[in-house]
Amino acid sequence: MKVHKVGSWIALLVVMTMLLAACGTNKDSAKNGEKESAAKTTTIKIMSVSQTENPDGPAEKEMAERYMKLHPEVKIEFIGVPMNDLYKKITAMATSGDLPDAFTMTPQFARTANGMGITADLTQLLGTEYLKEFYPNIIEESSVDGKLQFLPWNAAPMALVYRGDWFEQEGLKGPENWDEFLEAAKKLTKDTDGDGKADQWGFGMIGTRNGSGADRFIAIMRSYGVEELRKDESGKWVSDLATPEAKEAFQFFVDLNNKHGVVPPGVTETGFPEAASLMATGKVAMMLTGPNALGNIVSQNPELKGKLYSVPVPAKVKHTATFGLLGYSIAESSKNKEVVADYLKFMVEDENALKWNELSGRLPTKIEVGKQQQLTTPEYAGFVKALEYAFTIPAFDQYSQFQDIVAEAYQSMIAANQSVEAATKRAADRAAEVIGNSK
């Protein structure tokens, strides 16, 4: 009996082994087929901040899919990363030698990235003739020491976005200066449901302690003629943070919350996503932002299409704006530089750039596309004009510290009622220390 059973088991095992071997053969041949096609396919990995935003993320994916249809031998994979985590992620991946083929880059970080030696020289890769198709000041802003750090995909100059319909109802016009701005903000801060408490505010102030909040305040401060960092006549780095004009700018910004009450509660917790949501839900009338906010707000509330107008950042002594440039660097370590460069060129082609502008609101960077675009509508007019006032980020390795310095100052004044004297003194001291350490 036992012998019989053992025989049955052996027979069963033999049959199963044969079956598995047959399956293995099929799998092997399938794997071989995959390997063959994989050998022909070039996969490029792109780290993108757009992937974490809407409608930008799906639109960028759709563009990549169109490219892949035209180039079946290329496969594009995205790694999404929020803007506020971008520099940390790049640094961490660079130190572990794990950078993707391309990654989002800004002028603020370009100098640091260049110092790390992680960015390929796009001037060489793309050729100077090709780069002549772009606005020269944009190419300059995207370069470090004559080496193009990233292909500028789009510009998002900062301007003031406001509810055109509410302004018209109140008989207001787009504010030209900060006095008109404050007047409008006060008029548009109101109690709409009659419960005795404000539920609509004039200004969606972004007061977080990060680049998002700091860049906005720096634009305001520059409109007061104050530069957080500049070179003096002798070529030395200096900061204007302790000047009376700087104090005036800080005081004005903080008073919007502490004195005039024209911003919603929780200003130090309000970042860009929160402010955009407040605008989309009809809680605030104005916000300082790039044109990308238009796409974001309208995607949250389509009823606002055509109701959002823009003007340049109001002036104290002058209008001002950041370029808000965003583009892609190609990693020096990438083995597919030519393929990535070709895809980047595809992204800024006329048709794609215009489509991207229409969807995300960001402005194109090529001269010919700029001529073709329909940006004379009230939504975009302010942004287009703002480009005239855009300033260049100081070419200083530790520039990100200045963002933290000003953000610490306004938060201390808002949250701890620190005096403008104390806050600006600390800001100036920190600035001097950073400048001193850079020598």
Say how far apart CA 339 and CA 218 lie, in whole Å.
38
CB of 107 to another protein, least distance (A): 16
> Between 267 and 387, whose beta carbon lies closer to another protein?
267
| Cβ-defined contacts of 269-274 (< 8 Å, 24+) | 269/207, 269/208, 270/204, 270/205, 270/206, 270/207, 270/208, 271/84, 271/206, 271/208, 271/210, 271/212, 271/213, 272/206, 272/212
CB of 146 to another protein, least distance (A): 18
- Quote the Cα angle for 295-224-291, to 5°: 10
CB of 200 to another protein, least distance (A): 12
Beta bridge partners of 419: none
Could you give phi then psi for residue 289, rounded to 5 degrees? -165, 175
Q: Is 322 exposed, middle or buried (0-12, 13-18, 19+ CB in 10 A)?
A: buried
Q: Is 39 exposed, middle or buried (0-12, 13-18, 19+ CB in 10 A)?
A: exposed
> Between 223 and 411, whose beta carbon lies closer to another protein?
411
> Between 54 and 268, whose beta carbon lies closer to another protein?
268
Q: Which residues, other chains included, contact 300 with Cβ-Cβ below 8 Å and sequence gap of 6+?
A: 276, 277, 280, 281
CB of 315 to another protein, least distance (A): 29
> Between 42 and 401, whose beta carbon lies closer to another protein?
401
> Between 234 and 437, whose beta carbon lies closer to another protein?
437
Distances (CA, A) of 69 to 33, 79, 344, 351: 21, 20, 15, 16
In this structure, are strands 325-330 and 147-148 parallel, antiparallel, or unpaired?
A: unpaired
Binding interface with another protein (CB under 8 A): 87-88, 91-92, 94-95, 112, 115-118, 197, 208-210, 264-269, 278, 283, 398, 400-401, 404, 408, 411-412, 414-416, 418
